[in-house]
Amino acid sequence: MKLQYNVLQIAIVIQQVLEILGQSGEWTQWGQWSSCSVTCGYGIQKRQKTWRSRDNVGSNDQAFVYQDIIECTTKRACPIDGSWGFWGPWSECTSMCDGGITIRKRECSAPTPQHGGLECEGKGEATLTCNDWACPDLPPDFDITQCNETTYMCLSREQCIPLANRCDNTLQCHDGSDEHDCFFYNWHNSNAAGTTCIHSLLSIVWTMLFIYNIVLRYHS
């Protein structure tokens, strides 16, 4: 369809040229160049001349116009409005219990405003409340000397709890630190348990091989 349209355009131009060649007349002088089509960046300028036919002087026939088009530049950069980039991750909550704040940020850098462009609309920072559960009370007259390698020392270092109660989804430290960073804690413990299991399996395999060798020697 596009090819047929181009062919039709070419045919019309050829017909116009033949009509001009069949008439007596002349081209006028080139007109002045128009101003650049844009006020910043790149645009175009035009100038034109008209075929003046002697055979149709005073007629209402449409004149043949020839245009010359060139590229132009204003040597002035166009304003570029700013646009927000992606949101960053949420920050760690400022408190482990009794309510805290988590923050995420974004920058007006996709792109940044340039050459007088508009700043990004809206805010570059968002906040949410987090960890709004109540902190447990610090046990009165807590004896810190009872803390040892079998206990977990709370971050305040004013209380400890049994190590088995660390990351059990129940707050026991008065500062909430026993339920902090539990993902890495549980991952480490699961890896440790997995390593122990592997060692146990290897011990069983080696024991079976040892017994098998004894049996082979006995029968030989």
Least Cα distance to 178 among 145, 138, 129 occurs for: 138
Domain boundaries, the chain: 2-73, 79-134, 139-182
CA distance 130 to 156: 20
Query: What is the second-level CATH architecture of the domain 139-182?
Result: Irregular (4.10)
Please answer whether residues 47 and 31 qualify as being in contact, where contact means their C-beta atoms are separated by less than 8 angstroms. yes
Instruction: Identify the segments of the chain with pLDDT beneath 70.
Output: 1-24, 55-62, 183-220
* pTM higher than the cut 0.85: no
Give the pLDDT score at 216: 58
CA distance 103 to 91: 5
Q: Rounded to a whole number, what is the largest CA-CA distance in the chain? A: 129
- Reported CATH class of domain 79-134: mainly beta
**Paired tokens of 130:** 């987090």
DSSP character at residue 146: G
Give the pLDDT score at 3: 46
Give the pLDDT score at 2: 44
**Fold match flag (79-134 vs 139-182):** no
**Paired tokens of 1:** 């369809």
Query: What is the second-level CATH architecture of the domain 2-73?
Result: Single Sheet (2.20)
**Paired tokens of 198:** 């592997």
